[in-house]
Structure 1
């Protein structure tokens, strides 16, 4: 069998496996043709109105090697997400796309504060996204459960508002069978990491902790170990969004690995790392390791028993799916199916849903991957 045939066989097999997606941005996964339709209706000018050209523009921009430049792509995606109808459609399509990729549980993260230009309130935006999610789950025939993570933007000053919005909507949603207790499941901060540490939002994090709201924090992507430490201390993060630069706190020699204090804490406490391999290359998060996909510390972290998970980050910008991310990891690092399943189980156990739901997800993974 040729290498190309092997790649196709691997992807076909992985596409049929049930999967868990913890780190997927709603505004980073739009269908290009949907963007074009919505942009025309909104009067927004895109770089191109040709699907192939627009896809290529996002890919080129995203491969700049700079997180700030990478984030410029969202000026176009969020511009077409300023009405309830647009938010509902985009959320529904995101669920359909994830289900088509074999994802059985996903947390879609997005920032309500970025979708108010059309006159919506913060609550309006949450309601619209939830309506789209529930419509998408229904269309998928109950094969997927999708929840929301509400994100506050680091460069803005609305973290307290978004924390309160998260608390007000926690668990207010349905799964595909009409069971309650889902909807919004947690809180996140995102955006320009360097220069905007979690300590700026400590009041919001304290408020969330008082209400027992799970938190994940983007850290260890554009900034290093100090950012991760602050996410754990100020943010009380239960998971690390990306967290890839935790490997900078490891001193690796041919015969020994010396752990820094932050790396040791993350390992000992089993803090899940929401690694996004393709995105980590694009944003320059791997600069200190060499910068290429082959330099990603994923195999090192996995081999040292860190709680590693594999995610897409932004499916549009990275031209990827969870199947594709798993396949690339298998090819780049010779991971076996057992290795990939182990990281999928890590993701299921790290989900911000109740214990019984997590256990059921693990059961579905094991059965589907046998």
Structure 2
């Protein structure tokens, strides 16, 4: 009995080491996957790509072992990254937006025009006003859109998304925000989602154009009273739409999803004015002082060199190194303008001494144009002195 049991165990081991032939898959058109189970895990391969790799045949591509639940949990705890399946956010229009208000007034005006045309028994005016209203609705629906904001594709932890904006007037605006807000409002691309597809848009616009032409022809055959009333109404309505463009943009969009708080320190406010008339350097308004204020709040200087906010000369690089050290040490009263003047004077003195002592040798010519900010890229000229059109 023991011998028979040993024989049976050997057969079981042998049958496990040399599996039988794979199941018939027919004519090979139907895709089928066979899963072999081992003690070390599961392996999946496609029977249409080759033979079983365990039988010593040709490997059907890459055979990967399935991840266990323990391995998945370990990977997630080490780097908790999940795919963000949420829809891209959109900034809607406010409920009492000027566009909504004028649209409602236009609807009431159309009802008033139809009512007066009925009172005057002017059927042509009724059809004309109806055609204009339908044309406006069709064209408005074809142009209906909403702005779509960019969002992050994964939910892993990332650094903050602080943004520094330099205006044309030389001002610096520092926005402290998360990466999500920075991508939605500043670094992400601006896209619009239209409710009408590109193929349907020309059809809607064509229908609206035809209705508009029909209404224009009909308006020429209305009664005099209807023509005056309709003309005055639409002239007034167009004037209101023109005046709507003069209103600030915050009256149109609902920005309640964002919370804006002014966190500017007291010693960084009024950087565009003279804070101390007695101090002609640090108390007077200047671009250098404003740049130091921005560096002091950010604690970084790499963004200055990358954005071209300061010239890329050795003098300014030295000033940026000192400004970075002062910002890291929390020296808020660091004399930025004074240090800039001292560095520039010492550099000019060194260059002058070098030129006087090496008058007969070749010396590097100092280009004063590189002292200007921001950095400008000048297009190269051709041999004839004209701009190369192919470079544009």
TM-score, scaled relative to structure 2: 0.16
TM-score normalized by the length of structure 1? 0.17
Relative contact order: is structure 1 or structure 2 higher (C-alpha 8 Å, sep ≥ 6)? 1
Structure number with higher strand proportion: 1
Q: Which has the larger radius of gyration?
A: 2
